[in-house]
């Protein structure tokens, strides 16, 4: 009862204020609706529509620093860098030490080639958050752009301590050392960039070649420059084929060339999706299933690889190489009897291929049959010597 009375008194005291609060709450409901919709669209990757929703929300209630920052992030996703700068600045005017808004502002300035502004913003990020890996990374990159190499080195080194194995950071650090004429350090970092970088990462080879050249090792420099040129050519070819397949999505020849290139580059994950596209376009072509199987095997997905190899064998039951691949997928899964059957079929169809015998030899070895293992190994060596 006492509770009830207290609440009634409270209600009477509150009555005049309800009207004041509620006068704008219709607008607030609309604001909430726009914000919610914007988040859903952002989660779905539809940043353009998310921008519209955030803008509609902010037209009703303009002083939400977090929504302004989300708007900036959506602009950044769509590469509207000037708009991203504007939104982040508005957000920071309301909440000056917001680490992530400062970071977003720094990235936007970097993309606009306004590196001095980027440095100012990113330095504030790492002051506020000394373990901010992305802040250190972007600050280091901005300093490299400004040719402030001596300052870049400790920042990039710190970034690497926060994000190990980041190939791009090793490359930037290599470039800094190169420009500071610290060639052994440059060489070390370019090598790490290559080791941790994606397949076909060309730039560190150029840096490495330059570092070798300047330190007097011309032979190593020549080799690295050749690798760089080859990778550049492959990249150009990759770009050409990617553009072509985008413009002509049913161009099977272009897809096939792209698949071959990706396999040569050992980019097996992308090769899988390209082979799958080839199969969509030519569902009865065994070679595409075979390529898909090899790509899956390289990615260590033996079950998927076996499935694709079985399909290839169904389509071309007289191709020895398909049985050899099928056998390999079974062997990877430890299914020795199935592997044995497939390898035998491969040898039966083409007994002159040394590697089919080698596979059989290894399988027998694993199964404990030393006699047959040795026999097929001898055949393998004999055929190989004949080929030479």
Partner 1 sequence: MNIFYPSRNSHFRSAARGLFLLLLGIGMSFGVSAQDTEHLIFVSAGTFTMGSDTRAADEKPMHKVYLNAYYISKYEVTNAEYYEFWKQQLEMASPGHPPQHTPENFTHLPQIGDWPARAEQFPNHPVVGVSWHDANAYAAWKGMRLPTEAEWEKAARGYTNRTWPWGNALEPYANTAENNDGYQNRLAPVGSFPKGKSYYGAMDMAGNVWEWTADWYSDVYYWHTSQAATKRPKQNPTGPAVGSWRVIRGGSWIDTITRCSTTFRFYLYPNLKTSFVGFRLAKSTK
Query: Can you give the binding site for partner 1, defined by CB under 8 A?
Result: 3-4, 6-7, 10-11, 13-33, 35-36, 39-40, 43, 64, 66, 69, 98-101, 128-129, 131-134, 162-164
CB of 189 to partner 1, least distance (A): 19
Nearer to partner 1, 19 or 368 (CB): 19
CB of 330 to partner 1, least distance (A): 24
Letter string b/e over residues 3-40, b meaning 16 or more CB atoms within 10 A of that residue's CB = eeeeeeeeeeeeeeeeeeeeeeeeeeeebeebbebbee
Nearer to partner 1, 33 or 251 (CB): 33
Dmax (CA) for the chain in angstroms is 105
Nearer to partner 1, 64 or 311 (CB): 64
Q: Say if CB 208 and CB 191 are below 8 A apart.
A: yes
CB of 13 to partner 1, least distance (A): 3
Output the CA torsion 79→85→91→96 (10° steps): 130
Q: Say if CB 333 and CB 316 are below 8 A apart.
A: no
Please tell me the chain's helix, strand, coil percentages from 3-state DSSP, rounded to the nearest 5. Answer: 80, 0, 20
Nearer to partner 1, 99 or 223 (CB): 99
- DSSP letter for 61, please: S
Give the rounded distance of the alpha carbon of 99 from its chain centre. 25
How far from 228 is each of 194, 258, 319, CA to CA, in Å? 11, 20, 38
CB of 19 to partner 1, least distance (A): 3
Nearer to partner 1, 157 or 285 (CB): 157
CB of 44 to partner 1, least distance (A): 9
CB of 32 to partner 1, least distance (A): 6
Residues near 56 by Cβ (< 8 Å), separated by ≥ 6?
Answer: 34
Nearer to partner 1, 40 or 195 (CB): 40
């Amino acid at each position: 009862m006492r509770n009830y009375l207290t609440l009634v008194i409270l209600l009477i005291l509150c009555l005049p204020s309800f009207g004041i609060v509620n006068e704008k709450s219709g607008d607030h409901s609309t604001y909430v609706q726009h914000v919610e919709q914007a988040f859903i669209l952002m989660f779905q990757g539809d940043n353009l529509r998310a921008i519209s929703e955030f803008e509609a929300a902010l037209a009703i209630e303009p002083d939400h620093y977090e929504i302004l920052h989300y708007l900036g992030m959506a602009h950044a996703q769509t590469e509207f860098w000037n708009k991203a700068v504007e939104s982040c600045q508005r957000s920071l005017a309301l909440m000056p030490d917001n680490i992530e808004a400062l970071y977003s502002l720094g990235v936007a300035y970097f993309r606009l080639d306004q590196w001095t502004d980027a440095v100012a913003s990113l330095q504030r990020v790492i002051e506020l958050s000394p373990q901010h890996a992305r802040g250190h990374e972007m600050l280091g990159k901005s300093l490299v752009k400004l040719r402030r190499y001596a300052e870049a080195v400790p920042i990039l080194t710190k970034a690497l301590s926060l994000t190990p194995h980041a190939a791009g950071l090793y490359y930037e650090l290599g470039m800094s050392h190169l420009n500071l004429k610290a060639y052994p350090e440059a060489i070390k970092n370019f090598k790490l960039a290559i080791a941790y970088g994606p397949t076909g990462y060309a730039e560190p080879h150029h840096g490495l070649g330059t570092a070798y050249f300047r330190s007097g090792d011309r032979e190593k420099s020549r080799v690295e420059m050749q690798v760089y040129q080859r990778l550049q050519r492959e990249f150009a070819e990759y770009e050409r084929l990617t553009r072509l397949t985008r413009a002509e999505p049913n161009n099977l020849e272009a897809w096939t060339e792209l698949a071959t290139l990706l396999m040569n580059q050992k980019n097996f994950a992308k090769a899988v999706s390209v082979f799958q596209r080839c199969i969509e376009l030519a569902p009865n072509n065994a070679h595409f299933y075979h390529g898909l199987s090899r790509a899956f095997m390289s990615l260590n997905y033996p079950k998927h690889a076996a499935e694709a190899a079985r399909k290839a064998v169904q389509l071309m039951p007289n191709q020895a190489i398909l049985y050899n691949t099928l056998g390999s997928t079974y062997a990877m899964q430890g299914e020795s009897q199935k592997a044995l059957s497939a390898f035998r079929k491969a040898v039966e169809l083409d007994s002159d291929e040394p590697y089919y015998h080698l596979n059989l030899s290894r399988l027998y070895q694993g199964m404990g049959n030393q006699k047959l293992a040795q026999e097929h190994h001898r055949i393998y060596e004999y055929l190989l010597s004949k080929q030479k």
